[in-house]
C-alpha cells in the first residue's frame, strides 16, 4: 500500500521509532526490500537515486517501485532521492512518486530556499511529500567533487520555516558510500537541530553508521534513515559467490535468487535496529 513520506513517518512517530529508506536499482532489490518489510510488519521507503535514474530513467524505475509498493501488505513510500534537476523532479511527480527530494545543498542558502519552495508548491498540489537538505553530507568516493559541511541548527530552523518541506536531511557526521561502519557522529548537533526544527529529520549515508548508533540516531531526533551501499554490497558480493561456486551457471533467475535473499536479510537486520 502506498503512502507519502509525511504520512508514513507519522506511523513511526506514534511508536517513537525510525523508518528505513533503501536505495534500490530494479525489480530484484525492490521486491527483496518489500518482502523484508512484510516479514516483520514494518513500513518502509524505497528510493531511486541518481545512478538508478540515469541507468533506467525516472519513469521506469518509478513504475517498478510503484508496482511492488502498491502490492505490498505494509505501508510503502516511493521516493526520488537526491534530485537536483527540476525536469527530473517534475517527471517523477507526474509518474506518481509519493515523495521527492530536492537536493540544493550545494547552492547558496537563498537559492536553495527558492528552488525548494518551487518543488514544494508543485509536489504538495499532488499530495506528494518533499524532502530537502541543509548542510551537506559528503561522499567517500574521491571521484565525486562535493563540498561537505555540517548542518547549523539555526540555519536548519530558518530553512524549514521558509520552505515548508515535510522532512529535512541534515549533516551530522555520516558520509555517503562509506563501506565500513566508522562514521563519527555528532549526536549533540543532531539533538539541537531536533529541538529547533519541528519536522522529521533525515540521515543520509547510514551504511557507515555502527549498528548500535542507528537506534541512537532515532533517540536523538532522526526519523528517516537512508541506507544504500549496504544492500548494494550484499547483492554484489552474493552474485560474485554464485559465479565462483558455479562458473557455468547462466540463468539470471537462479543467479539472482540468492542475491534477493541476501538483500532481504540485510534489510530486515537494518529495520529491526530502528
140 burial class (0-12, 13-18, 19+ CB within 10 angstroms)? middle
Catalytic annotation, pick one of 29, 81, 166, 213:
81
- Is 204 annotated to bind a ligand? Reply is yes
Do residues 214 and 206 lie in contact, with contact meaning Cβ atoms separated by under 8 Å?
yes
Residue (of 273, 176, 186) closest to 226 by Cα position = 176
- Is 118 annotated to bind a ligand? Reply is no
- Is 166 annotated to bind a ligand? Reply is no
Is 7 known to be catalytic?
A: no
Strands 138-139 and 167-170: unpaired
Place of cell 526544527: 197
Per-position DSSP letters for 86-131, written without gaps between them: HHHHHHHHHHT-SEEEE--TTS-HHHHHHHHHHHHHHHHTTT-EEE
Distances (CA, A) of 41 to 35, 72, 76, 208, 219: 10, 11, 11, 25, 21
The count of other CB atoms within 10 Å of the CB of residue 233 is: 15
- Is 133 annotated to bind a ligand? Reply is yes
Do residues 135 and 177 lie in contact, with contact meaning Cβ atoms separated by under 8 Å?
no
**Binding-site annotation: residue ranges for Zn(2+):** 82, 103, 133, 176, 204
**Binding-site annotation: residue ranges:** 82, 103, 133, 176, 204
Question: Any idea which residues carry the catalytic annotation?
Answer: 81
Amino acid at each position: 500500500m502506498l503512502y507519502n513520506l509525511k504520512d508514513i513517518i507519522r506511523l513511526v512517530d506514534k511508536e517513537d521509532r525510525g523508518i528505513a529508506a533503501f536505495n534500490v536499482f530494479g525489480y530484484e532489490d525492490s521486491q527483496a526490500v518489500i518482502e523484508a518489510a512484510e516479514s516483520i510488519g514494518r513500513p518502509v521507503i524505497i528510493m531511486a537515486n541518481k545512478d538508478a535514474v540515469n541507468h533506467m530513467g525516472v519513469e521506469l524505475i518509478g513504475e517498478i517501485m510503484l508496482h511492488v509498493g502498491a502490492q505490498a501488505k505494509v505501508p510503502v513510500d516511493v521516493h526520488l532521492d537526491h534530485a537536483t534537476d527540476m525536469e527530473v523532479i517534475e517527471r517523477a511527480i507526474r509518474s506518481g512518486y509519493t515523495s521527492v527530494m530536492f537536493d540544493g545543498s550545494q547552492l547558496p542558502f537563498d537559492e536553495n530556499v527558492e528552488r525548494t519552495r518551487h518543488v514544494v508548491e508543485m509536489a504538495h498540489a499532488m499530495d506528494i511529500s518533499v524532502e530537502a537538505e541543509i548542510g551537506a553530507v559528503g561522499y567517500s568516493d574521491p571521484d565525486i567533487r562535493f563540498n561537505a559541511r555540517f548542518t547549523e541548527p539555526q540555519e536548519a530552523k530558518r530553512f524549514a520555516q521558509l520552505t515548508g518541506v515535510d522532512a529535512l536531511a541534515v549533516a551530522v557526521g555520516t558520509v555517503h558510500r562509506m563501506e565500513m561502519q566508522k562514521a563519527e557522529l555528532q549526536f549533540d548537533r543532531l539533538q539541537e537541530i531536533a529541538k529547533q526544527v519541528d519536522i522529521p529529520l533525515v540521515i543520509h549515508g547510514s551504511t557507515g553508521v555502527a549498528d548500535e548508533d542507528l537506534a541512537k540516531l532515532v533517540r536523538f531526533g532522526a526519523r528517516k534513515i537512508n541506507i544504500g551501499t549496504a544492500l548494494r554490497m550484499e547483492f554484489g558480493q552474493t552474485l560474485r559467490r554464485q559465479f565462483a561456486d558455479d562458473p557455468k551457471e547462466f540463468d539470471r533467475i537462479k543467479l539472482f535468487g540468492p542475491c534477493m535473499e541476501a538483500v532481504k536479510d540485510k534489510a530486515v537486520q537494518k529495520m529491526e535496529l530502528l
